[in-house]
Structure 1
Amino acid sequence: MSLNKTPRSERLHIAIFGRRNAGKSSLINAITGQNVALVSPVKGTTTDPVYKAMELLPLGPVVFIDTAGIDDEGELGELRKKKTWEVLGKTDVAILLIDNTEGVGEPEEEILSAIKKQKIPAIAVFNKCDLKTISSDMLSFYNAKWEIPVVQVSAATGEGIEKLKEILMQTAKADEDQVFIVKDLISRGDFVVLVVPIDKSAPKGRLILPQQQTIREIIDAGGMAVVTQEDRLKETLDALKVKPRLVITDSQVFHKVAADTPLDIPLTSFSILFARYKGDLEELVKGTQAVEKLKDGDKVLIAEACTHHRLDDDIAQVKIPRWLKQKTGKNLHIDIASGGDFPENLKEYSLVIHCGACMLNRREMMRRIRQVKEAGVPIVNYGVFIAYVQGILNRVLQPFRKLRNALKEEEETKVV
């Protein structure tokens, strides 16, 4: 991935849902002004979700998700529909596309109900007004019934596309959630020291995504990023004329970095910062309480959002199972899930340990946390778990005073 290219996980995800041949691919082409999606009069041309990353002014970097028809048929059709429904979990803005020549039916009502249940901002778009026009009264009727913006367009001629883009911009901005990696923890002129181990797992010639994004946000905040390796941290701190506002480390070298960082300098990790940025840090910290309760034979799920070449000392397959064994002394059954699939049998597990989610957007990570909670299972992420088993969780939560106070109050209430 180019260092100048916005990663897909950081782009606004706009998914288009509708029946086969409603014009979903054509609509993407009309909105973007480019032939980026395959268009065919044959029903079912789009068989799996297709992701199209691009710049859409004035929104900026977005990814359009072209889905299979919600009315697909047959055994394969059901599988394709399942993939389409899974897209809801990562959708920031949903476009429900309706074919004017077909009208509104059960498929549209069903997908809209799911969109509303997951509280996804949505727009209803009636397409093919060049073939059949919907009256303004009917548009008003659906606007009132569904309580979402409704617009009529022709993806073929371009009619109504500019109005749709305006509504899309308003809908996306209304759902903006100001969550930062590090920007709210520092002030202009602050030094931030980043500890970046260089080992066999580090991509040659570049930093991993969370490190890149953290550095960029420090710069945006007017701070100054100083990057060093774990064996040169003391030397780096001594060389600085002022005390850094924060030290951020890779979680796998927590112990050494904690030992070399003076107690009056706040310390945290990339993984913990991303636990907050992509998910629910408080929920992930609470999940550590389940580690001590694990019993022989309990199942633990280790979930990674990406797939990569496994190393001899791989964190998911080797390090985390080893740390679990050392901390609990129990014989546990470990399952590992990688990539976009997330197990449905979550109730079988006593604990879920999730990666830092740098390859997921916030909505998808929050969906995963919600799924785990609904199954009644505690969840932690790598950084939180590693800090906990190494006995420095309270230390690395130092920058998050409100969270530490809330957890302390909760513990005091339990004791009482």
Structure 2
Amino acid sequence: MSNKAPRGVRLVITLAGRRNAGKSSLINAIVDQDISIVSDQPGTTTDAVAKHYELLPLGPVTFYDTAGLDDTGELGELRIKATQKVLWRSDVALVVIGEEGITDYEKNIISNICELKIPFVILFNKNDLRTPSAEELNYCRENNFPFLEVSATTGLNIKEIKKAIIELSPDEMKQTPVLAGDLFGEGDWVVCVVPIDLAAPKGRLILPQVQVIREILDCDAVAVTVKDREIEETLSNMKRKPALVITDSQVVLTVAGDVPDDIPLTTFSTLFARFKGDLPSLVKGAEAIDTLENGDIVLVGEACSHHDVADDIGRVKIPRWVTQYTGKNVKFETYAGHDFPEDLEKYKLVIHCGACMLNRTEMLRRVTECNRRGVPITNYGVAISKVQGVLERIIAPFNL
């Protein structure tokens, strides 16, 4: 079951520390499976190894066993960068201390995790071989850093590690997150407008649509799913007004024309802007579209790597719509997957996808990093509604 949960709604837990600190042995002990190769040879783990696991009451989580942050050489530097990318999207970190104890090196790791504002617990591993010194324990206590003495070999405090993860987890992971469920009530009708075009996956709906429809059903409301050319006829045949219409952003202009003004309207991508990020910040970021000038560079951020089609939303349609709206010769660059450029300052604006394949922690970090560097950020749905002239109506249900 945990293997089928969407990647973007999983809690991400990363084990970080030196080579040979026992990270692989610990993760094997936590999930009670041999998923990471264990060896006395430092550097056995070269790339981050992911393990899906059901950790109740949190539900599906992903553990990452990472390469040691003290790796050496040119290849070692690449492994360290890969580990740091995993940390960037982590909800909880387990800092594993090996036989070397807490040195300046470990303190730098902890400092980095603190800067990223990742909740963490320090694990003094290999308790059967070494116990932490009084100085190390004082370091933890003076800084209010939670810690445990553990051993993958004897099983000491393995259950306590799981308890610590649950306690450190973000509040939204301990509760059922809301996409649109606060916008309608039990028994209400909600109309979902789902266009089927070349970009639509064969035989299925895209993840945001699936998640929203499932939530409607979970809330004991009625989900009516139609294509964009059917919305007007559907509304005219309904015996009562729907509580909400949710449309794909790509057809928001035509749908807005077909849906009466007294029926609340929003988009799937706008719902995800709230669900995965910071909707007010992303709405404000869209204002930067009005300031674009010739030669400005806009970053289009995609959460997933995919084969782009002739009318790709992020690589073709949004650049076309923004260009038509501004009348400017703006350049567009695309970053896909978990990569996010280090030279953010060169961009006048970031337009990000709905982030259905990212967890909320990673998306919020991207928003925070853009804000920190003074680069406005918005998302697909908000940006499209902006350039189509319907943004005020689309965000009206949220009372911003």
The two structures have a TM-score, normalised by structure 1, of: 0.91
Name the structure 1 match of 2:253: 255
1:162-177, aligned counterparts within 5 Å?
162-172=159-169, 176=173
Shift of 1:138: 5.9
Whether 1:130 aligns to 2:128 is: yes
Q: Give secondary structure in 2 for the equivalent of 1:181.
A: coil
Over residues 295-321 of structure 1, what are the superposed CA-to-partner deviations in whole Å (9 max), with x where a residue is unaligned? 111111111111111111112222112
The share of aligned pairs that are identical, in percent, is 55
Whether 1:148 aligns to 2:142 is: no
Name the structure 1 match of 2:16: 17
Give the counterpart letter for 2:209 in structure 1: Q
Name the structure 2 match of 1:412: none
Over residues 81-118 of structure 1, what are the superposed CA-to-partner deviations in whole Å (9 max), with x where a residue is unaligned? 1221222221111100111x221112211111111122
Counterpart contact for 2:179–2:275, Cα < 8 Å: yes
1:176-325, aligned counterparts within 5 Å?
176=173, 179-325=177-323
Q: Distance in 2 between matches of 1:55 and 1:146?
A: 31
Over residues 382-414 of structure 1, what are the superposed CA-to-partner deviations in whole Å (9 max), with x where a residue is unaligned? 10111011110011112111x1xxxxxxxxxxx
Q: Which has the higher contact order (CA 8 A, sep 6+)?
A: 2
Name the structure 2 match of 1:85: 84
Where do 5+ consecutive residues of structure 1 fail to align?
A: 404-416
Bigger shift: residues 42-51 or 357-366: 42-51
Shift of 1:57: 3.1
CA distance 1:219–1:3, change in 2 (3 Å): farther
Q: Distance in 1 between matches of 2:3 and 2:37?
A: 27
Shift of 1:3: 11
Whether 1:59 aligns to 2:41 is: no
Counterpart contact for 1:121–1:175, Cα < 8 Å: no
Whether 1:372 aligns to 2:377 is: no
Q: Distance in 2 between matches of 1:161 and 1:307?
A: 36
Give the counterpart letter for 2:273 in structure 1: A
Counterpart contact for 1:70–1:107, Cα < 8 Å: no
CA distance 1:286–1:159, change in 2 (3 Å): same
Name the structure 2 match of 1:102: 100
Name the structure 2 match of 1:330: 328
CA distance 1:307–1:222, change in 2 (3 Å): same
Bigger shift: residues 354-363 or 41-50: 41-50
Give the counterpart letter for 1:376 in structure 2: G
Over residues 217-244 of structure 1, what are the superposed CA-to-partner deviations in whole Å (9 max), with x where a residue is unaligned? 2222222211111111122223332211
Whether 1:35 aligns to 2:45 is: no
Name the structure 2 match of 1:414: none
Counterpart contact for 2:199–2:311, Cα < 8 Å: no
Q: Distance in 1 between matches of 2:331 and 2:199?
A: 26
Name the structure 2 match of 1:408: none
Give the counterpart letter for 1:390 in structure 2: Q
Q: Give secondary structure in 2 for the equivalent of 1:97.
A: strand
Give the counterpart letter for 1:329 in structure 2: G
Q: Distance in 1 between matches of 2:8 and 2:352?
A: 16
Q: Give secondary structure in 2 for the equivalent of 1:189.
A: coil
Where do 5+ consecutive residues of structure 2 fail to align?
A: none
CA distance 1:47–1:301, change in 2 (3 Å): same
Q: Distance in 1 between matches of 2:211 and 2:172?
A: 22
Counterpart contact for 1:195–1:230, Cα < 8 Å: yes
Q: Distance in 2 between matches of 1:173 and 1:366?
A: 12
Shift of 1:123: 0.7
Over residues 39-94 of structure 1, what are the superposed CA-to-partner deviations in whole Å (9 max), with x where a residue is unaligned? 22221111122222221234320000111101111222122112212222211111
Q: Distance in 1 between matches of 2:376 and 2:170?
A: 33
Q: Distance in 1 between matches of 2:162 and 2:85?
A: 25
Shift of 1:175: 7.1
Q: Distance in 2 between matches of 1:51 and 1:207?
A: 26
Q: Give secondary structure in 2 for the equivalent of 1:342.
A: coil
The two structures have a TM-score, normalised by structure 2, of: 0.95
